[in-house]
Amino acid sequence: MDILLSWLSHWQGAVAVVLVLGGLILFHELGHFTVARLFGIGVRTFSLGFGPRIWGRQVGKTEYRLSLVPLGGYVSMVGEEGEEEDPEVLARDASNNVTFDRSESFALRPAWQRMLVVLAGPVANIILAFFIYWGVALFIGQSFLEPVIGSVVDGSPAAKAELRAGDRIVEIDGKPIQDWSEVIEGIGAGQGRPVKVMLERDEGREIVLFTTEITPEAKTRKNIFGEEQPAWLIGIMAAGTYGTRELGAMDALTAGFKQTWGMIAFTLESFKKLFERVVPLDQVGGPILIAQMVGQQAEYGVTGVLLMAALISVNLGILNLLPVPVLDGGHILFALIEMIRRRPVTDKVRDAAIRVGMTLLLGLMLLATWNDLVRLFS
């Protein structure tokens, strides 16, 4: 029975990985497809999956295809490979029928249209993340770290004020406290002046409320990137218990926006710290790490998988916006240069930039895969 449960657990994780990675890439391609069609750009093929064709249906000039490898998909637009130089090739759809004309060529469109088509992929990933955060907040609720003390440092201001593990902080300087982040903000807001803290304590037979005054100490603590930062502390640690609060439609919408923006800001800061070498290169992860993370979240249920998918979706969107040739950001950069100079970048410059971009991207993929393998077998 244990072997069967273990096998089912692994299959559950594998299915979650395929659904998440495939869905995120497919949604990215759907962004390109939607804006291309809005501009009247011809699309030969929209494929769910890669590799050999399993099934397809021609609708208008586009073949909608189901392919063998379910990790993502692709959009084949008319003229995106320089086909405008050959009218005969330009005019063929997925069934080799002569139907497209030069007005439907992606390459012959104004730079701003091409830029928006390319930009639509990363933007679609950001939009998907927002809908996930909003949906989770609306239908499941918003989780938060409860303001319950887990431990008190000996000799600290909190210990001198006789705070105990299990105490719940309910107010700081008259402001109601609902989660642990507000505890940190409330203590730090005074910049070292004494703060009045109201606590709730379970005395066994009754719940007691009491207020005490605590003077924070100037200390340093490590942030999520491992950097030492100054902080005002009283010597308490969170118990690590989480609660869930129900949200109405508008509150859930606001929470979705805040979580999405917070994840965008965090992702941008992560890239900045990586380039500054604050985050070491051995922390860079690739497909194996992503698969492991999704598989782990699958063990905790659908909510964990959805939140992980939102995180990866934001990262995928931001990564694709980096101004590296072969990524969407590189194509956007070429389009911006063309709009400023009023003429496209020369083929020689474009080809050289693409070679450099391919080298950088390949190097990053090899580094990420190497790090994944080291973590996997260490």
* CATH classification at residue 197: 2.30.42.10
Q: Give the mean pLDDT of the chain.
A: 83
What does the alpha-carbon distance between residue 27 and residue 122 come to, in Å, rounded to a whole number?
Answer: 9
Please state the rounded mean pLDDT for residues 111-124.
95
Residues 151, 291, single domain; the answer is no
pLDDT at 6: 44
- Residue 31 domain-assigned (yes or no): no
- Residue 93 domain-assigned (yes or no): no
Residues 229, 309, single domain; the answer is no
Residue 15, beta-bridge partner list: none
Lowest pLDDT segment from 65-69, 323-327, 366-370: 366-370
Residues 153, 239, single domain; the answer is yes
Residues 157, 289, single domain; the answer is no
- Residue 148 domain-assigned (yes or no): yes
Is-contact 126 312, C-beta < 8 A? no
pLDDT greater than 50 at residue 152: yes
Residues 354, 292, single domain; the answer is yes
Please state the rounded mean pLDDT for residues 50-58.
86
First to last CA, the chain: 29
What does the alpha-carbon distance between residue 100 and residue 83 come to, in Å, rounded to a whole number?
Answer: 12
pLDDT at 7: 36
Please state the rounded mean pLDDT for residues 341-357.
85
Residues 215, 354, single domain; the answer is no
pLDDT greater than 70 at residue 295: no
Known catalytic residue at 246? no
- 226, 244, 262 - which closes a domain: 244
Please state the rounded mean pLDDT for residues 139-156.
90
Residues 181, 204, single domain; the answer is yes
Residues 293, 321, single domain; the answer is yes
Most confident of 219-228, 232-241, 356-365: 232-241
pLDDT-derived band at 9, boundaries 50, 70, 90? very low
- 244, 275, 309 - which closes a domain: 244
Residues 302, 332, single domain; the answer is yes
- Residue 296 domain-assigned (yes or no): yes
- Residue 169 domain-assigned (yes or no): yes
Is-contact 210 198, C-beta < 8 A? yes
Residues 260, 373, single domain; the answer is yes
Total of domains in the chain: 2
What does the alpha-carbon distance between residue 312 and residue 213 come to, in Å, rounded to a whole number?
Answer: 43
pLDDT greater than 60 at residue 91: no
- 244, 266, 296 - which closes a domain: 244
Is-contact 134 253, C-beta < 8 A? yes
Residues 133, 266, single domain; the answer is yes
pLDDT at 144: 86
Instruction: Using alpha carbons, list the distances in angstroms from residue 127 to 202, 260, 317.
Output: 44, 9, 10
Residues 214, 136, single domain; the answer is no
pLDDT-derived band at 272, boundaries 50, 70, 90? confident
> Position 60: which residue type?
G
Residue in 108, 99, 91 with CA at minimum distance from that of residue 59: 99
Structural domain range at position 318:
110-141+248-378
- Residue 94 domain-assigned (yes or no): no
- Residue 343 domain-assigned (yes or no): yes
pLDDT-derived band at 254, boundaries 50, 70, 90? very high
- Residue 213 domain-assigned (yes or no): yes
